[in-house]
Amino acid sequence: MKKQLIATLVGGFILFMWQFLSWTMLNIHADQFGYTANQDKILENLAQNLDEGTYMMPGLPPNSSPEAHQALMESSAGKPWALITYHKSMNNNMGMNMVRGLSINLVTVFLLVWLLSKFASLDFKTVVLASLAVGTTGYLTIPYLNSIWFESNSIGYLIDTLVQWGLAGVWLGWWLKRP
């Protein structure tokens, strides 16, 4: 149990450190957050017209008929659209966000270590490939799938997936095979 606990703690910290580097010093996700000189006007307009939430525009009221959905799809083809997440107040509580992020990293590495413990035969290569498979599954089913539907760039997330889960796999492959 001690070996699994250490594997989880170090593996979770590896994920956390990569995420910190990726979003700060390396700025891999820079193209996901554009800038407009009109931001003050836009935010003022959003404040006057939206409650907190995420909006797809154009959209329909809840419980609209299938015919209304079809009509919207047809009338919107080739026209502008937007996906907006709006908050009335910016929360700069990075401490709590970092605690939550590290906690999630620990849980995900714990689950990977648990999964690896069920393998009949475990070698370094298998651990690294299994780690990459777990990370890639998460990437394909969330960031990549969202990039398909919302026509966004997910390359930063792909880089994160391969690097952080590759590094975690190298650590786990070395640590879990130690006597």
Enter the tokens of residue 128.
């690294």
With beta carbons less than 8 A apart as the criterion, state whether 131 and 161 touch. no
In a domain, 86, yes or no: no
Tens of pLDDT along 136-147? 999 999 999 999
Q: Which amino acid is at 24?
A: T
Question: Structural domain of residue 9, as residue ranges?
Answer: 2-33+93-176
In a domain, 18, yes or no: yes
Is-above-0.85 flag for pTM?
A: yes
Distance CA 144, CA 138 (A): 9
In a domain, 53, yes or no: no
Query: In terms of pLDDT, which residue wins out, 93 or 19?
Result: 19
For the chain, state the CA radius of gyration. Answer: 21
Residue labelled with tokens 């193209």: 31
In a domain, 64, yes or no: no
At residue 75, the pLDDT reads 96
CB neighbours (10 Å) of residue 16? 19
In a domain, 144, yes or no: yes
Give the pLDDT band (50/70/90) at residue 92: confident
In a domain, 46, yes or no: no
At residue 6, the pLDDT reads 97
In a domain, 129, yes or no: yes
Distance CA 73, CA 69 (A): 6
Give the number of domains in the chain: 1
At residue 50, the pLDDT reads 96
State mean pLDDT over 64-93.
94
